[in-house]
Amino acid sequence: MLERELPAVRRADALTRLGGRRLRLGQPAVAATHAAEAVFLLSGWPGFRRAAAQELARAAGAAGTAPALTAREREVRELVAAGLANQQIAARLGISPRTVAVHVSRLLAKTGCASRTELAVQLLRAATTDVG
């Protein structure tokens, strides 16, 4: 019903606000789902997408929570960090490029990253911190 009545930018804004509320209620997984949907809706609006991802990342940090990544999201994150394109990731994992795009959107939302490059840098920093 929401998708028929509001344009994508307004739906994404509503989902971002709802995600922030869910985080404050201690429901990071639900918040991450809302964030992923908002980021996906805003794929053609990078400025809005970045703002939505950053707002939810700030809320997660303030709540002391970091949404957990699924095993598949961790696989996709590693392949994104290795520089593979969605087509290549899809072929390697045996899934569709569209599914890869959804995983990447969710990763960006959950991590608060604005781009694939930022996601790769974040992963590298985490690996360096874990080792050192």
Q: Out of 13-22, 28-37, 75-84, give the one with best mean pLDDT.
A: 75-84
Q: Kindly indicate the confidence band of residue 1, based on its pLDDT and cuts at 50, 70 and 90.
A: very low
pLDDT of residue 15: 81
Residue 38 sits at φ, ψ, to 5 deg, of -65, -45
Residue 66 has pLDDT above 70, yes or no: no
Give dist(CA 95, CA 106) in Å, integer: 16
Nearest to 110, CA basis, from 75, 62, 61: 61
Q: How many CB atoms lie within 10 A of CB 114?
A: 18
User: Which CATH number belongs to the domain containing residue 6 in this structure?
Assistant: 1.10.10.10
For residue 132, give Cα distances in angstroms to 16, 87, 129.
35, 34, 5
Express each pLDDT in 18-55 by its tens digit: 877 877 777 776 777 777 777 677 766 666 666 666 66
- The total domain count for the chain is 1
Find the domain containing 90 and state its range. 2-131
**pTM score:** 0.54
Q: Kindly indicate the confidence band of residue 86, based on its pLDDT and cuts at 50, 70 and 90.
A: very high
